[in-house]
Structure 1
């Protein structure tokens, strides 16, 4: 009988709709069938851009003999981890507890009640076939042992998770985190740890904020430990193969410590977070000590190119942003991106090919497989005009290759990250097209994903999925809407952010000041996830803390401020012991130290001086500053704008903290001085 994935909105599930495996989507129907047949459930979790998910699919799920065993012995459930992060979280925790490691594809054998009793990740076909037979035999002959194992796992993972309440992070706590990061920093290549090396996007934001706090804004700066780590990492990645030197955008991670050879999948969330970090790092003059002039120019270029790549390659026809691009083309990982010297000569001719080979470090031996090389910016081009011409020619030629597949489902959380990044980059770089892209994505989420004030996590082709939004969806979307309000002055975005955050407070609280990752009326799993650590994306908890803090500064709401501080309780515990996994929480801690500030800019919407004051605020205000823009006549029911009027008809900025405001200013220089505390 055919599997049941053909109506899914997830491209990952649709990839498996024609498998000979009789897949079920996650849901009660699958577990009821397992109880009826009295067989275990095999839960296979992955995502569309996952290379090893494709390998296991080709080896096992498309193989008739393997599928026959799976169908006879199990009820088989296929899960898109991006669509159901709650299901992924509870089974990943079980997998890590049982095996000491995790990853995707994740393979879980569970009882008909969903309790996991055997877990793993990728299995080669022969191993997988033996495993299927072994688990089925154990279920038949030693079922009591498996049931007891499942009970032990459920009991261990469903206990109380509440962390002890703690005050907001103090200056000493954040400084301690920097010291911990110094010990793990790769001074030769940037980044933290060894291989594989992931882009530490949220740590870049924290370290940049820490550096800026350490320097008076109005004086010439010197490098700080935080600034050196931020700049060293950002420049190392920008020059490495992890960055797409032709088309822009970052790959998921590098398999080596030098950032040379990436795992080629490209994720929306990575690039949205990195765009925001690179924008912030490049927004101030080089004399502030964060980067040398040529490095700052590189960071600025990478930020704009990443934004352009997001809009060009990930934007959907409905105005949202797709989740990812695949790593594989033509059955090979990275084939779309790598080059041989012969391919350079074919496209460019001998002289330009020799120039390109020097600039991009393309050698006969290659840095990748079969003599091909991943393009790096081995050295700043001595002839920028020639570099631009060669780069454009290679990009045109690459467009004729088979393009990577695109997972075009729209995820609310990741689109929220994109909205925030594009709105700020668009305003700072004077790119209204980027602000327009942010607005279109925000409008799509509000129009399609919001039902009765609650969020649906995904959509595809303008059709909402069925999975309820989790905490990160509410928090990241609220963050994006607040950033978009600050840039555009459209009050509705601030109000919609407030509604999402009110839903967070009503449905996600744990009663102890913390937050669960799933709502109180969401589907009940064997445990309710509550992870305070930042990984590839901000944890729901730290993302909520950031958005709640900004909203409190915008509105003066003590309720939201108190909730933000409660959500930040784990920071003191994580700062020294696991700083690498608390980047956004630490960055939000920096915002707490700054007040956070709030800036209201008012004036005629068509006055360029208003735009310049907004850019000045984005350039010089500390991380987490709440920004609001208005016409000075109507406040749109945004509390920060109430009573703020232009001075003598001129564009005017008010810098406030706790709704106590300094004297208004009408020039960018005056605003910078106000933000510096002068």
Structure 2
């Protein structure tokens, strides 16, 4: 019989609905049951596309004997980390503190009030080297709770006290004082020591796509001409796009590479990676004109629309790594399989072009497709690629996690809106607009005070119950602002302002920083441990730097000093960390580049149906000035929601015009694209 998770909306929780484990969802009912039975909580945290989560589920949670012991001795709580990043953040901090590392699946044992006393990640069904078997862990902790309760409770209390301590930050200058060339130079120096000159990327295996750092490096080069910054970004982008982490048949990036050469990926495909990397490649193409970047933008955007778009117009969270019970089975090839699809001649040629060998680069002699050089016959390659893709479509497909996450959809809106406008793809722009409408209509609701509030997720057109966290507000605002810049539809910038005003009212701490949860949505159990506040980037921009970036753009569009000061305050802690850990502060450093450059503001005014207006608008969006803020409008038809950047900007001699401002100073308006491009290069 299905367990309680059968009523969940999370695809990850639904994957466990048929387990013999008597799972509960995170919430008051689970805590009350643990208190009633006087047993500990077993909190299992993962996500739908997590390979080792599937492994542990099959080995342990589907095992009747293991499940029976869990049900007898614990109240078992299953958490989707993507739906509840606040729960994940608090217990990941505890796991890392106790074990020195973290990851998913995450396995936490806690008192009935949620205080952790033992943490780990994956546990095998049988002991492997020094890793204890999961049944051994269960038995030991059940015994400890029964016979050494005082020790367990004391340990949990110590952990809770440690978690409750606010993370220490260095006393020092404010965020505004840290927006300085010396901070950027020190961060670049620290980053350079970790750069892999041969294979690109930073550090060793495994290698995750450094999306936010790449955005910073491109902006830094655009502002200063620093050749080393561009070289690091260029080498990394080339290596990722030509290696196995990029899907050479359909487009789109896998989550990370298990090796240092970007050859073998962990095959799950995440919305957030592809939204961020689509935008980075667009900015690289805008800066250098490299055709590889344009190809990746086009393929990845088309892949997003084909593979992740939901019937409601949002974007699903991920594609699984596994199919047919094996990781990567959908994506890998042998020489024999190529010949079966393509024939002997094309099969041998494709094997050479795509790096498919008899030895293989993956398991069981199969190879991950790579494209280390451009093929010598483009038409032949197009035919080969189409036939291989069609053959691959007949394979069992990886599962799709179809929940719509606010933050990640905001990133997708920003990427598709900007790419659609710059590369003149109205289908991408329409997709961005439709997704934004879903976020506005389904994910947003007013509270009693009139503030716009977000939910974290929806699925099948039904909004979830988990409250939005800081990254949701920041990234959705980022998406709205990019859409407004791309379309001239001022509703979106007005919506972004309402979200960011909510952030300043509901998420602020007493030092000008921002918490990850709102003051009225912080979970009671988590709040007793620690109100989450992580200033660093992970695989997505951190909440604080993401909010700062959106605030910088909005401040420029509205002329609000208050919003600019709020952005500087939110950057304080991330920039303090940046000089030592630049890989964790890429978005804060990218925002710093925008501030050091102005950011430059361009008001394009003219009738929407005038070709000259459209040309000026596209030239503005195609400029590489870091953090460029663009507003578009007809001065004769500005509504109440139009940003202040467009006010009092008339046509010039009845001709459409562009007004360029920087550092609170505006230049004379220009009416031709060459003059505008020159102004934005200066």
1:299 and 2:293 aligned: yes
Question: How far has the Cα of 1:284 moved from its partner?
Answer: 3.3
312, 316, 319: which is aligned to 1:322? Answer: 316
668, 674, 677: which is aligned to 2:679? Answer: 674
Question: How far has the Cα of 1:322 moved from its partner?
Answer: 0.3
In the TM superposition, 1:50-89 aligns within 5 A as: 50-89=50-89
User: Following the alignment from structure 1 to structure 2, what is the Cα–Cα distance between the partners of residues 555 and 572?
Assistant: 25
SS of the residue 1:354 aligns to: helix
Question: How far has the Cα of 1:561 moved from its partner?
Answer: 0.5
Structure 2 vs 1, CA of residues 670 and 162 (structure 1 numbering), >3 Å: closer, same or farther?
farther
User: Following the alignment from structure 1 to structure 2, what is the Cα–Cα distance between the partners of residues 61 and 579?
Assistant: 39
Structure 2 vs 1, CA of residues 362 and 2 (structure 1 numbering), >3 Å: closer, same or farther?
closer
2:224 paired residue number: 214
Question: How far has the Cα of 1:643 moved from its partner?
Answer: 1.3
1:220 paired residue number: none
Question: How far has the Cα of 1:659 moved from its partner?
Answer: 5.2
1:233 and 2:227 aligned: no
In the TM superposition, 1:109-508 aligns within 5 A as: 109-126=109-126, 127-161=133-167, 163=169, 164=171, 166=174, 167-215=177-225, 224-286=227-289, 296-452=290-446, 453-508=452-507
631, 638, 658: which is aligned to 1:628? Answer: 631
Gaps of 5+ in 1: 216-222, 287-295
SS of the residue 1:337 aligns to: coil
Question: How far has the Cα of 1:623 moved from its partner?
Answer: 2.1
User: Following the alignment from structure 1 to structure 2, what is the Cα–Cα distance between the partners of residues 250 and 144?
Assistant: 49
2:560 paired residue number: 557
2:130 paired residue number: none
Give the TM-score normalised by the residue count of structure 2.
0.95
SS of the residue 2:677 aligns to: helix
SS of the residue 2:317 aligns to: strand
Question: Does the Cα contact within 8 Å between 1:640 and 1:659 map onto a contact in 2?
Answer: no
Question: Does the Cα contact within 8 Å between 1:602 and 1:646 map onto a contact in 2?
Answer: yes
Question: How far has the Cα of 1:18 moved from its partner?
Answer: 1.1
Q: For 1:22-73, what per-residue CA distance to the aligned partner results, in whole angstroms no more than 9, with x for missing partners?
A: 0000001001000000000000000000000000011111111111011001
User: Following the alignment from structure 2 to structure 1, what is the Cα–Cα distance between the partners of residues 477 and 372?
Assistant: 40
User: Following the alignment from structure 1 to structure 2, what is the Cα–Cα distance between the partners of residues 22 and 197?
Assistant: 37
1:614 and 2:617 aligned: yes
**Residues 625-634 or 472-481, more deviating:** 625-634
Question: Does the Cα contact within 8 Å between 1:553 and 1:658 map onto a contact in 2?
Answer: no
Kindly report the root-mean-square deviation, in angstroms, between the aligned alpha carbons of the 2 structures.
1.2
Question: Does the Cα contact within 8 Å between 1:83 and 1:457 map onto a contact in 2?
Answer: yes
Question: How far has the Cα of 1:650 moved from its partner?
Answer: 2.5
Question: How far has the Cα of 1:153 moved from its partner?
Answer: 0.8
Q: For 1:365-411, what per-residue CA distance to the aligned partner results, in whole angstroms no more than 9, with x for missing partners?
A: 11001111000003211111111111111111111111110000000
Question: How far has the Cα of 1:447 moved from its partner?
Answer: 0.3
User: Following the alignment from structure 2 to structure 1, what is the Cα–Cα distance between the partners of residues 652 and 63?
Assistant: 73
2:449 paired residue number: none
User: Following the alignment from structure 1 to structure 2, what is the Cα–Cα distance between the partners of residues 158 and 84?
Assistant: 19
SS of the residue 2:632 aligns to: strand
Question: How far has the Cα of 1:644 moved from its partner?
Answer: 1.6
Question: How far has the Cα of 1:621 moved from its partner?
Answer: 4.3
Question: Does the Cα contact within 8 Å between 2:287 and 2:624 map onto a contact in 1?
Answer: no
Structure 2 vs 1, CA of residues 123 and 327 (structure 1 numbering), >3 Å: closer, same or farther?
same
1:641 paired residue number: 646
1:218 paired residue number: none
Question: Does the Cα contact within 8 Å between 2:555 and 2:561 map onto a contact in 1?
Answer: yes
Question: Does the Cα contact within 8 Å between 2:545 and 2:574 map onto a contact in 1?
Answer: no
Question: How far has the Cα of 1:162 moved from its partner?
Answer: 6.5
User: Following the alignment from structure 2 to structure 1, what is the Cα–Cα distance between the partners of residues 184 and 117?
Assistant: 40
Question: Does the Cα contact within 8 Å between 2:94 and 2:116 map onto a contact in 1?
Answer: yes
Q: For 1:287-322, what per-residue CA distance to the aligned partner results, in whole angstroms no more than 9, with x for missing partners?
A: xxxxxxxxx111110111111111110000000000
1:650 and 2:655 aligned: yes
Question: Does the Cα contact within 8 Å between 1:169 and 1:571 map onto a contact in 2?
Answer: no
Question: Does the Cα contact within 8 Å between 2:453 and 2:502 map onto a contact in 1?
Answer: yes
Question: How far has the Cα of 1:459 moved from its partner?
Answer: 0.2
SS of the residue 2:565 aligns to: helix
SS of the residue 1:530 aligns to: coil
User: Following the alignment from structure 2 to structure 1, what is the Cα–Cα distance between the partners of residues 588 and 646?
Assistant: 28
Q: For 1:386-439, what per-residue CA distance to the aligned partner results, in whole angstroms no more than 9, with x for missing partners?
A: 111111111111111111100000000000000001111111111111111100
Question: Does the Cα contact within 8 Å between 1:117 and 1:149 map onto a contact in 2?
Answer: yes
**Residues 436-445 or 631-640, more deviating:** 631-640
Question: Does the Cα contact within 8 Å between 2:575 and 2:589 map onto a contact in 1?
Answer: no
657, 663, 670: which is aligned to 1:665? Answer: 670
In the TM superposition, 1:83-102 aligns within 5 A as: 83-102=83-102
User: Following the alignment from structure 2 to structure 1, what is the Cα–Cα distance between the partners of residues 587 and 624?
Assistant: 18
Question: How far has the Cα of 1:613 moved from its partner?
Answer: 1.9
Question: Does the Cα contact within 8 Å between 1:40 and 1:111 map onto a contact in 2?
Answer: yes
1:290 paired residue number: none
Question: Does the Cα contact within 8 Å between 1:207 and 1:227 map onto a contact in 2?
Answer: yes
2:30 paired residue number: 30
SS of the residue 1:394 aligns to: helix
Structure 2 vs 1, CA of residues 175 and 615 (structure 1 numbering), >3 Å: closer, same or farther?
farther
User: Following the alignment from structure 1 to structure 2, what is the Cα–Cα distance between the partners of residues 643 and 330?
Assistant: 62
1:510 and 2:516 aligned: no
User: Following the alignment from structure 1 to structure 2, what is the Cα–Cα distance between the partners of residues 357 and 608?
Assistant: 47
Question: How far has the Cα of 1:3 moved from its partner?
Answer: 2.3
SS of the residue 1:283 aligns to: helix
Question: Does the Cα contact within 8 Å between 1:654 and 1:665 map onto a contact in 2?
Answer: yes
User: Following the alignment from structure 1 to structure 2, what is the Cα–Cα distance between the partners of residues 352 and 584?
Assistant: 44
User: Following the alignment from structure 2 to structure 1, what is the Cα–Cα distance between the partners of residues 73 and 596?
Assistant: 57
Give the TM-score normalised by the residue count of structure 1.
0.96
1:16 paired residue number: 16
Question: How far has the Cα of 1:568 moved from its partner?
Answer: 0.6
1:219 paired residue number: none
User: Following the alignment from structure 1 to structure 2, what is the Cα–Cα distance between the partners of residues 420 and 662?
Assistant: 28
Structure 2 vs 1, CA of residues 634 and 260 (structure 1 numbering), >3 Å: closer, same or farther?
same
